[in-house]
Amino acid sequence: MTRQSAREDGFTLVEMMVVTALVGILTGVAVVQVTATRNMVKGDSAMRTVLANMNQAQMMAIQQRRYVRVQFDTTVHRISIVREETTGTTTTLGTAMFESGAQLTLTSGLPDTPDAFGNTAATSFYNPVNGTFASLVNTTQVVKFAPDGTLVDWNGNLTNGTVFTAIPNQGPSARAVTVLGSTGRIRGYRWDGAHWVKV
């Protein structure tokens, strides 16, 4: 007579521990990826805020045949659009704040964008003719779109510029918006961890 051993159904303790460890590893990887992706999305949101306000100011300057200021307050991280009236007064047309902790800030260690308009501050506007940077008014950087769509400084001189945004201490969230003064061309850049990529 042949004796058969009784077979027990189920998993051994070792098998359960291996599966639990694998699930834990996969969960950890997913959390890291989600966090990095969230910071990238927040960075894109800040860049789109700058792009939208710059484009709107330029469009209003051309359509309304007025100088339209774009004011960057680096203390409260706010962008304002202000129209200069023919009477010498000004009218604030809109104000935008950044969401999700994004700021007007220069991330240390990152190089300048390929346009090379400067990276000395969060808002860096440079006059290529006389080699000077646009001045701050208190903590506010002010540039203007002229009625022909060009970008000028406070004194009406053509100026190129870069606006940097990021979530502090989150390298993948770094973004930049550049403006070529003579044509008014506005361009966005995203930091991919190694170099600036045009959006």
Residue 3 within a domain: no
Residue 192 within a domain: yes
CATH number at residue 120: 3.55.40.10
For strand 123-127 and strand 132-133, is the pairing parallel, antiparallel, or unpaired?
antiparallel
Return the H-helix or E-strand segment holding 53: helix 13-64
Residue 5 has pLDDT above 60, yes or no: no
Residue 39 has pLDDT above 90, yes or no: no
For 43-65, write each residue's pLDDT tens digit.
899 999 999 999 999 999 999 99
Residue 5 within a domain: no
Residue 4 within a domain: no
Residue 17 has pLDDT above 60, yes or no: yes
pLDDT (mean) for 8-29: 83
Residue 6 within a domain: no
Residue 51 to residues 89, 178, 193, Cα–Cα distance (Å): 26, 9, 21
Whether the Cβ atoms of residue 178 and residue 47 lie closer than 8 Å to each other: no
First and final C-alpha spacing in the chain: 79
- Predicted structure pTM score: 0.79
Query: Containing domain of residue 41, as a range?
Result: 13-198
For 79-134, write each residue's pLDDT tens digit.
999 999 999 999 999 999 988 889 999 888 899 999 998 888 888 887 766 666 66
* Nearest-5° Cα angle at 10, 7 to 11: 115
What is the phi-psi region of residue 113: left when phi exceeds 0, alpha when psi lies from -120 to 50, beta otherwise? beta
Residue 7 within a domain: no
Residue 1 has pLDDT above 60, yes or no: no
* CB neighbours of residue 133 within 10 Å: 17
**pLDDT value of residue 189:** 96
Residue 128 to residues 39, 112, 125, Cα–Cα distance (Å): 34, 16, 10
**pLDDT value of residue 16:** 86
Residue 149 within a domain: yes
What is the number of domains present in the chain? 1
Residue 194 has pLDDT above 70, yes or no: yes
Residue 168 has pLDDT above 60, yes or no: yes
Residue 8 within a domain: no
